[in-house]
Amino acid sequence: MHFSVLFTHCPACGSAKFIQNNVKSKRCENCGFVFYVNASAAVAAFIVNTSGDLLVCKRGREPEKGSFDLPGGFVDENESAEEAINREIAEELQARVTGARYLFSLPNEYEYSGMTVPTLDLFYECRLENTLDLRPSDDVEDCFFIPLNEVKPELFGLKSVRKAVGIFIQKA
C-alpha cells in the first residue's frame, strides 16, 4: 500500500489534516510537518564459485518467502553500501567478503508491513574467502550454487533481483 493511503494522521501532532503535498510527501495543515518517503538503499551480491556457478539463496521470510534471491539487504544508518554488503553476507551466509565490485543499480518496490517501500538496489559482484562452508542464517532459508546457464530469473521473487539476474546472465 502506498504511504499516502496508509498514513492518514500527522505523525508529529496527530492531526487528521494530513494532506498529499506531492508524489512523495504529505503535509500537515495543522502543524506544518512534512513527511517524505524517499528510496531506501539496499544491496545484493552476485557470487560465482570457481566452477562458474551462481550462488542462489532461498528466502526464509516475507516478502516472497520461498522464492529465489541473492544475498543482501538494506543499508543501515551511518553505513556505506560496501559495509552493508560485507555485513549482509556475514549475517546471511556466515562468510567473509574478500572483494566487492559495484555493477549497477535498479529501482524496486519492497512490500513490508502493509507498506510499499521504494528502494534503490545496488548490485555487487563479490568474492568470498570460502564458498564451500556457507551456512544460511538470518532471513536465508537455504543457499546453493546453480550453473549459470541453468539459472531461471523468473524464479526470483523480488522484481529488481529478477531483472538484475537477467542482466547478469546476459553479460556473462
9-19, pLDDT tens digit by residue? 999 999 999 99
Backbone conformation region of residue 14, classed left if phi is above 0, alpha if psi is from -120 to 50, else beta? left
pLDDT at residue 156 is higher than 90: yes
- 80: amino acid identity, one letter: S
CATH 3.90.79.10 domain range(s) in the chain? 40-171
The whole-angstrom separation of Cα 170 and Cα 99 is: 22
Q: Find the Cα–Cα–Cα–Cα dihedral 68, 95, 85, 75, rounded to 10°.
A: 90
With a CB cutoff of 8 Å and minimum separation 6, the contacts of 100 are: 45, 82, 85, 86, 124, 125, 126, 127
CATH 3.90.79.10 fits 40-171, yes or no: yes
172: DSSP letter: -
Per-residue confidence (pLDDT) for residue 112, from 0 to 100: 87
C-alpha span between 51 and 144 (Å, rounded)? 13
Checking if the pLDDT of 1 tops 90, the result is no
Tell me which of 39 and 1 has the higher pLDDT: 39
For the cut 90, the answer to whether the pLDDT of residue 172 exceeds it is no
Give me the pLDDT at residue 108, please: 95
Q: Look at residue 155 and give its three-state secondary structure.
A: helix
pTM for the complete prediction? 0.92
The amino acid occupying position 135 is R
